[in-house]
Amino acid sequence: MSTYRISQLAERCGVPATTLRFYEDAGLLPAGRTPSGYRVYGEDAVERLGFISSAKLLGLALEEIRELLEVREQGVCAAVRARMVPLVAGRIAESEGRIAELSAFCAHLASVYADLSGPAPEGGCGPDCGCTTAPAASGPVRVTLSPTRTGPAPESWRDTPVACTLGGSELEGRTQEWRRLVEKAESRVEIPDGLRLIFPATAELAGQVAALAAAEQSCCSFYDFTLHLSPAALELTVRAPEDAAPLLADLFGVTA
Per-residue pLDDT of the chain (256 residues; tens, 9 = 90+): 678 899 898 888 888 888 888 888 888 899 999 888 889 998 889 999 889 988 888 888 888 899 999 999 998 999 999 999 999 888 888 777 767 666 677 776 777 777 777 787 787 777 677 665 444 344 445 556 655 444 444 566 777 777 777 777 778 888 888 888 888 999 988 888 888 999 987 777 887 888 888 888 777 888 888 888 776 788 899 988 888 888 888 788 754 4
State how far the Cα of 35 lies from the Cα of 151, in Å rounded to an integer.
45
The reply to whether 28 falls in a domain is: no
- Write the single-letter amino acid at 172: E
Residue ranges of the alpha helices (H) in 14-61? 17-25, 44-57
State how far the Cα of 151 lies from the Cα of 48, in Å rounded to an integer.
28
The reply to whether 220 falls in a domain is: yes
The reply to whether 83 falls in a domain is: no
Sequence-ordered list of residues with C-beta below 8 angstroms from that of 51, at least 6 positions apart, any chain: 68, 69, 72
The CA-CA-CA angle for residues 240, 244, 23, to 5°, reads 115
Instruction: Identify the CA nearest to 201 among candidates 121, 122, 117.
Output: 117
pLDDT at 136: 38
The reply to whether 195 falls in a domain is: yes
The one-character DSSP state at 74 is T
Full residue range of the structural domain in which residue 130 is found: 124-252
The reply to whether 16 falls in a domain is: no
pLDDT at 81: 93
The reply to whether 173 falls in a domain is: yes
The reply to whether 103 falls in a domain is: no
Number of domains in the chain: 1
The reply to whether 52 falls in a domain is: no
Q: Are 68 and 85 in contact (CB under 8 A)?
A: no
pLDDT at 244: 83
